[in-house]
Structure 1
Amino acid sequence: MDLITILLIVVSGVVLMTMATSVIVIGLDSISEARAELRYQIRESGPYLVGLGVVYLLNKLAHQLTTTLSGVIGVNITDTLVALEGGLVGQLQAALPMEAAVWYFSFAYVFGFAFVLVFPIVAYLLLPTQRYLKELLVAYMINYGAGTVFYTLFIAYGPRRALPSEVGQPMFEQFPEIMTLTAAINTSSNVFPSLHTSMAMTVLLFAWWTRDHYPHWLWISAVFVLSIVVSTMYLGIHWLIDVLAGMILAVASVYLARWFVSWAENRKVPKPHTSIETETQD
């Protein structure tokens, strides 16, 4: 199966999941009402949407360069991760040896992750305030940027590569075509920190802050995010240390994103006229 076919399957699945969740979380009436203001909302958040697109594109274009640079300056920390963590991931796989677990966590890792990133963009775009969407998009940018820096500075192979005799790679064994997709997106030495974890946890933090607007999204996102985090280890892709580092990155990215948007929005507020200016005008 070629890359285009795989992408079409994933995109189709994510679109269906987003549509179904929109009905549950947002509601058809709210969606219909929000459409009247959609043009304004897109214009308001447009620069941030474009910014995320540019950051993602630059990240993909610079992938080969950063990989080459990492080979020159990067520090290989794989042995350190093995020494600190040992066979924890192998124990997790042994505890859940069922084929159903492979299907579930593979679904969470591929479809669930893409869905979790896309749905809040749609949901927050339909809110009267665009503050949450702007903060989310900036947090995404920070995650991608930080990931590029870490992956350049640190070379780290996941458990399936570092401990092949103890840790399996069930997703790639069950669905070998997925390797085509993952190879096009990332490199096997880019595991510290786990961006799957950091991006997913970023979404969950925003789901908590927006629970008054979308209460159902909080528990839906919690189930998906927990599944994604566990899947990164169960599938032999990340260490627990990668996951913990990803959680720290998520908290930092959200904090910085909220600060940045607050700063940017305050700059847009027109300064009030001074009393002298008012008197002069009178």
Structure 2
Amino acid sequence: MDLITILLIVVGGVLVMTMAASVIVIGFDSISKARTELRHQIRESGPYLVGLGVVYLLNKLAHHLTTTLSGIIGVNITDTLVAIEGGLVGQLQALLPMQAAVWYFTFAYVFGFAFVLVFPIIAYLLLPTQRHLKELLVAYMINYGAGTVFYTLFIAYGPRRALPTEVGQPMFEQFPEIMTLTAAINTSSNVFPSLHTSMAITVLLFAWWTREEYPRWLWISAVFVLSIVVSTMYLGIHWLIDVVAGVILAVASVYFARWFVAWADNRNVPNPHTSLETETQD
């Protein structure tokens, strides 16, 4: 199966999941009411949407460069991760040896991850205030940027590569075509920290803050995020240390994102003293 076919399957699946979540979480009435203000909301959040697109594009364009640079200056910490953590991931796989677990966690890792990143962008775009969407997009940008830096500075192979006799790779064994997709997005030496974890936890933090606007999204996202985090280890891709680092990165990204948006919004608020002076002069 070629890359285009795999992408079409993933996009189609995520589209169906997003449409279903829109009905369950947002509701037809809220969607209809928000449509009248959609142009204004897009205009307000436009720079942040464009910024995320630029960061993602630059990240993809610089992928070969950063991989080459990592080979020159990167520190290989794989042995350190093995020494600290040992066969924990292998033990996790042994606890859930069922075929159903492979299917479930593969679904969470591929489809669930893309869904939890896309849906909140649509949901927050439909809110009267765009603050949450701006903060989310900035947090995404920080996650991607920090991930690029860490992946350049540190070379680390996941459990399936470092301990092939103790840790399996059930997703790639059951669905070898997915390797085509993952190879196009990332390299096997980029595991510290886990961006799947950091991005998913970022979404969950925002789901908590917007629980009054979207109470159902908090519970839906919690199930997906927990599944995604566990899947990164169960599938032999990440160490627990990568996951912990991903959680820390998520918290830091959200903190700085909220600070930045507050600072940017305050800059755009007219100074009342300046306005008063202008009126007096007139």
Q: Which runs of 5+ in 2 are unaligned?
A: none
1:39 partnered with 2:32: no
1:267 partnered with 2:267: yes
Q: Which runs of 5+ in 1 are unaligned?
A: none
Q: How does 1:1-282 map to 2 (within 5 A)?
A: 1-274=1-274, 277-281=278-282
Deviation at 1:90, TM superposition (A): 0.1
Q: 1:27 to 1:163 in 2, by over 3 A?
A: same
Q: 1:88 to 1:272 in 2, by over 3 A?
A: same
Deviation at 1:278, TM superposition (A): 4.7
Q: 1:74 to 1:272 in 2, by over 3 A?
A: same
**Distance (whole Å) between structure 2 residues aligned to residue 67 and residue 279 of structure 1:** 60
**Distance (whole Å) between structure 2 residues aligned to residue 97 and residue 270 of structure 1:** 61
**Distance (whole Å) between structure 2 residues aligned to residue 51 and residue 162 of structure 1:** 36
Deviations 1:212-264 (A, max 9, x none): 00000000000000000000000000000000000000000000000000000
Give the aligned length. Answer: 281
Matched letter for residue 84 of structure 2: L
Q: 1:269 to 1:235 in 2, by over 3 A?
A: same
Deviation at 1:280, TM superposition (A): 3.5
Matched letter for residue 32 of structure 2: S
Q: CA RMSD in A?
A: 0.8
Matched letter for residue 89 of structure 1: V
**Distance (whole Å) between structure 2 residues aligned to residue 144 and residue 276 of structure 1:** 44
Deviation at 1:276, TM superposition (A): 5.3
Query: Which secondary structure does the structure 2 equivalent of 1:165 belong to?
Result: coil
Q: Percent identity?
A: 88
Query: Which secondary structure does the structure 2 equivalent of 1:166 belong to?
Result: coil
Deviation at 1:272, TM superposition (A): 1.7
Deviations 1:173-226 (A, max 9, x none): 000000000000000000000000000000000000000000000000000000
After the TM superposition, list the runs of 4 or more consecutive aligned residues in structure 1 that deviate by more than 6 angstroms: none
Deviation at 1:107, TM superposition (A): 0.2
Query: Which secondary structure does the structure 2 equivalent of 1:238 belong to?
Result: coil
Matched letter for residue 18 of structure 1: T
**Distance (whole Å) between structure 1 residues aligned to residue 4 and residue 201 of structure 2:** 29
**Distance (whole Å) between structure 2 residues aligned to residue 276 and residue 21 of structure 1:** 50
Matched letter for residue 186 of structure 2: N
TM-score (structure 2 length as normaliser): 0.98
Which has the higher mean CA deviation after the structures are superposed, 267-276 or 204-213? 267-276
Q: 1:84 to 1:272 in 2, by over 3 A?
A: same
